[in-house]
Each structure stands twice: as C-alpha cells, then as structure tokens.
Amino acid sequence: MSADFQGYEQDYGVLTADITNRIGKIPKLAGGESEEKKQMVMNVEKQLEEAKELLEQMDLEVREIPAQSRGMYSNRMRSYKQEMSKLEADFKRSRIAYSDEVRNELLGDDGNSSESQLIKLREERAHLLDNTERLDRSSRRLEAGYQIAVETEQIGQNILENLNQDREKIQRARERLRETDTNLGKSSRILTGMLRRIIQNRLLVFVLGIIIVITIILAIYFSFRGH
C-alpha cells in the first residue's frame, strides 16, 4: 500500500473524530438561530466535504492495487464509507434536535403553552426524524449499488486479463504451429530429394547390370565363334 493512502487514512481518522465531537455539541448550543450554532454547522459541513474528498482519494489509491491484493483494502474502504453515512445521518439529526433551552423558547418558560403545541412539535420532530431515516436508507442503497458497480468493474478487469492471457497463449500456439509447418515442409523437401536420388541410383545399378550381362553374353559369343 502506498504512503499516500496511509496519509489519507490518518487524515480521515483525525477529521472524523473532530466531526463526531462537533456534531455532539450542536444540539447543546443555545438557540436554533444563534451565530455560534450557525458557525458550528457550517464548519461541520465543510469538514464532511473534506472527508468525502479524502474518501475519493483513498478509493482511487485502492483501485491502483493489484486485484489479488485489493480485498482487504476494499473492506476498509467499505467501513469508512459506512462511517461517513453514519456521520451524515448524525449531523442531520443534530440539526433538527431540540435542546431543553430551544424547547423552552418555543413553548415558553412559564409552562402555560398548550398541550396541542407540544404534540405538534413532537409530531414535526418525528416527521423530520422519519425523513432522515429514509435518506439514510437511500444513502445505504446507493452505497450498496456503488459497491456492486466497483466489484463488477473488478470482475470485468479480471475477465479481460484472463482473455488477454488466453489470446497470448493462442498466439504462441499459432507461432509454434507455423514453425512446425515450416519444419515439416523442409523435411518433406529433404525426403523428396533423398527418394529421387535413391531412384536414380537404382536406375543406374539396373543399367550397369544390363551392360554387364550384355558384355558377358558378347564375350561368350565371340569365344565360341573363335573356336
């Protein structure tokens, strides 16, 4: 694993720890519209964006790792992304959560606010929490879809690598076949030449045999004729 990934990983750990700490403070800040609370929310939003950018950089680094060694780091990335989804969900809840002081500001410290206002407030809070849960589920489904896409891409890369290896093997086999065919052609020409010479030698022996027989017959003939 490269040093870049380790650096991103350390930065991500420090950043998420700070985000978690700030998210826990948001509901406790006085007044939903106070400057301190607005600034805290803005800071957390910026930090979440920085954390997402770090995750993207880490994801790119993981993709550069050979497929056979990528599994462990892919699991770590999956955990980091799940942690990011949880941080975003906690941040949304912290922004809509009401502290005791905010609730008192809405209902009045004297306790004379009507019960219907309190019920309405609880219903609105429940509705917001329900929407947050739906967003969380949607985020998890998107994350699962993204993970499937990444795994599919990895499988596709492995298949392409296997196909390239098979193609190279086929090309090497074709080259060997061509060499074998060339060698067979040379052997065929050599055998043809040898066969031609054998036939020529046999014809020469046959002709020499006829000449010898004729010579012997002529010698015998002239011998008898002389007597």
CATH code for the domain of 45? 1.20.58.400
- Give the domain range for residue 122: 3-168
For residues 27 and 95, give the distance between their C-alpha atoms in angstroms, rounded to a whole number.
Answer: 7
The reply to whether 184 falls in a domain is no
pTM here?
A: 0.43
Q: What percent of the chain has pLDDT over 90?
A: 12
Overall domain count for the chain: 1
Q: Please count the other Cβ atoms lying within 10 Å of the Cβ belonging to residue 87.
A: 19
The reply to whether 125 falls in a domain is yes
For residues 155 and 110, give the distance between their C-alpha atoms in angstroms, rounded to a whole number.
Answer: 66
Cβ-based neighbours of 139, under 8 Å, separated by 6 or more: 85, 88, 89
pLDDT for res 137: 67
Q: Please count the other Cβ atoms lying within 10 Å of the Cβ belonging to residue 190.
A: 10
Cβ-based neighbours of 82, under 8 Å, separated by 6 or more: 143
Average pLDDT, the chain: 78
pLDDT for res 92: 85
**Sign of torsion, CA 202 203 205 209?**
positive
